[in-house]
Chains A and B, each alone.
Chain A
Amino acid sequence: MRKVNLLSPRAALLSLLLPAIWISPTSTVLAADCETKIGAVLPTSVDWGRPIAETAQFAVDLFNESGGVKGCDIDMVLRDSQVDPKIGVDAAKALVDLDKVPLLLGAVSSGVSMPILTSVTVPSGVMQMSCCSSSTGFTDVAAEGKTNGLWFRTFATTRNQAAVAAKLVQDKGYKSVGIFYKNDDWGQDIGKLVKADLEKLGITVTTSVAINDAQPSYRAEVTEALKTKPEAVYMALYPAEGISVTREWVSLGGTQKMVVANSLKSDEYRDGVGFQYLSDVIGHDSAPPRTDSADSFTAMYKEKFDSEPNGPGLPNIFDAVMISLLAMEAAPELTGAAIAAQVGKVTDPSGTPVNADAAGLKEARALLADGKSLSYQGATGAVVFDANGDVSAPAVAWTFTEDGTAEAAYYPLADVDTFIATLSK
């Protein structure tokens, strides 16, 4: 969840200044007189977390209007995580123990989702679906069989981005690469993955240098990398230290052939370094799918909120809610394991495609009643989970221009998946 982390210092400050804003789980139409509770743990007290919670409630309302789950309205009990693992775990515990929810949506940050998964949902047999956690740590936990198939996320993992980074290096024809990575969970994760992927592609990684926060000077780090004389560099950094490292690197005569992560796709970085030094830079980023279902989500969102769904994780939380509720509808009983078992049935690539609007949901109910499987077409396209509960995503390559960034290439989901498959061999 890159963008979220970028904002966090300011967001944290805001959360101190503003009282926590409580979003009341009002359902506009109460179609049924019975209610089924589900839980959500989201950072509603920070400015980028609120739209995520609002979008979740929007999806729940849509689903209720189309008839709810098994004829009952869904009541989403929302609790604030404050982007704090301890508070998040407490909130999840309360939802599972007191509200007896079989399904938990959340959290946003990997650091909050992980302790909830391992200490709350898995031990209690509750299904958990996150909109936004990107750490590859979840993949490892799931692969070890420790999630009991209860974990899903609708956000493409760092793995996905790392593969695209390696692809860009390969496409550019660079033979040797030095890596600068931010010394935090995300940076270590992607740095390690990119290094492994490049080596698998036969590209030499001359060095892999950790860059810490808030250092007075990065000269020593840059010098270390410079000594290894790479043909190009890969940078998984944030703008603050990215500017310092890049300027130091260029001034010491380092190559201006650079591949950079989505975190540097910002005006701050471009202006800070100077556009004239960034003409040979190519970056990678995940991209919204270019499908009708994604466009229809944008249209629905605009109608409801009167703005573009530009915040981080909005399409992802929408799909997380819809897929979870469809699985509940399909499940013979409302337990975590039973619901989780049906997620595959509603996101089956060979199933009947259904859209996430009123008509589509109606159709979905009918198909499920007949025991048929669906292929859910949502805000992030045709969602397909792998055995570890991970999804893939389309990607874009981008370059800097005089006044912003421009797309250099679009890699549809199929291309990304094929490439990752070749890397995994």
Chain B
Amino acid sequence: MSSVARLDVSELTAGYVAGMPIISSIDVTVGVGEIVAVIGPNGAGKSTLLKAIAGLCHIESGAIHVDGTEVTGIRTDKLTRSGIAFVPQIENIFRSMTVEQNLILAGRRCDKQASSHVEKMLSLFPLLKKTYKKRAGELSGGQRQFLALAMALVAEPGLLLLDEPTAGLAPIAGQEVLSILREIANPGVGILLVEQNAKAALGLADRAYVLADGHNQHEGEARAMLSDPVLGEIYLGGRRRGDHAAKPV
């Protein structure tokens, strides 16, 4: 198993409307137990990349392999029933349903007994125990993000796709969310993480990709990137230099 990457994206060109790609020729790999961050300016195509992998975009060309099996163009619900979990940035929980119903619904997509998995999630996220019978729409931002993570993990995926899990959260809540990811990755789950907060993401990740204008710009060890002065200037909170600032697509 360990020789095959959890996720192998090669030469992927995709968008929302046929003939109008948002990302082009993207290459990304995520190994077993590896946390990989995708950073880049707004409109770089980071979210589109995740959605394309999750089967929610129109794929023009390229290939996606998960655990060595090609999954390019496979319907989302089939993908997410076979080991991939995707947490969208917003509207990632069912607000009209209770926490319990959300978890049961999410757990239904794996064949195993759902209730034991739900139990496991409650021990992983003890916060959710207190709000178990509450409507998800009444949860705080941090609680919602934990619920969304729990919904993704309840089916025991091999690959977790996270779209800006800290967006809109208070800094402390954001830290809490990120800190749990290492725990998740340890048993071998591959995590592909898209983040605006590049510093935090690189601090956590093993490797990282920089995307701009829908293209691969840079790839490398996360720690190395953190200390790269040029990248630091552009993406990690330093002052922007006009020439290097990426234009929104």
A–B contact with Cβ pairs below 8 Å: the answer is no
Chain B residues near A (Cβ < 8 Å): none
